[in-house]
Amino acid sequence: MGRYFSDLFGGSASILRSLWVTLRYLFTPAITVQYPDEHRTQPLRALNRHVLRIDEATGQLKCTACEACARICPTRCIELTGTGKGKNRHPSAFTIDHNLCMYCNLCVEVCPFDAITMWTRIGELSAPVRSDLVYDLKALTAERFYPSPTTPEKLPTPAPEPEPEKVEVAATAPSS
């Protein structure tokens, strides 16, 4: 009989505690983002769409088609073919199928040249047709700076130092 009342009291206390939480949140203002017009801010390290980074000094892709990203990908969503030898090697075809990608970030971590990143803050990965989620080399090439694990922030470019003004010193002979 004591166990019955104990269970009855414990259940009632649990219900009252739950109702208190509901009442507390009932009167707080809702935080709603009107999606098409407003976007939630994403953290820097949010994993989103892949981007192939470019070397800002030369304007060329950093990717050397070493295929490390394609080999480590568990879903085999990266297909890559390269042309050239040695330092002249570059990707001739690079595709990522975002239908298969599980956003594990392994391709970014294994890249020895810091050529691929997912820290793009491009969060809208939807398409009317599934084939639109297959990105090729042209769609993956970055047009601006994107952070990566080794370069989370863009290093400030040093301002050119102004040339010192040329001061003409008139040679004066010592008077005697």
- Cβ burial of 12 (10 Å; 0-12, 13-18, 19+) is exposed
Q: Mind listing the pLDDT tens digit for each residue in 118-133?
A: 888 777 888 899 999 9
Handedness of CA 46, 59, 140, 74 (dihedral sign): negative
- Measured CA to CA, the distance from residue 24 to residue 28 in angstroms comes to 7
* Domain membership flag for residue 62: yes
Residues across the chain: 176
* Domain membership flag for residue 38: no
Cβ atoms within 10 Å, residue 157: 7
Q: What is the largest CA-CA distance in the chain?
A: 125
Give one DSSP letter per residue of 6-39, joined into a string. HHHHHHHHHHHHHHHHHHHHHTSPP----TTT--
* Domain membership flag for residue 13: no
* Domain membership flag for residue 10: no
Q: What is the pTM of this model?
A: 0.66
Q: What are the residues facing 117 on neighbouring strands?
A: 51
* Domain membership flag for residue 64: yes
Low-confidence ranges of the chain (pLDDT < 50): none
pLDDT at 169: 59
Domain count, the chain: 1
* Domain membership flag for residue 39: no
Range of the domain at 110: 51-140
Long-range contacts of 149-152 (CB under 8 A, 24+ apart): 149/108, 149/109, 149/114, 149/117, 149/119, 150/114, 151/114, 152/44, 152/119
* Domain membership flag for residue 80: yes
pLDDT at 35: 82
82: domain CATH number is: 3.30.70.3270
Q: Mind listing the pLDDT tens digit for each residue in 66-75?
A: 999 999 999 9
* Domain membership flag for residue 16: no
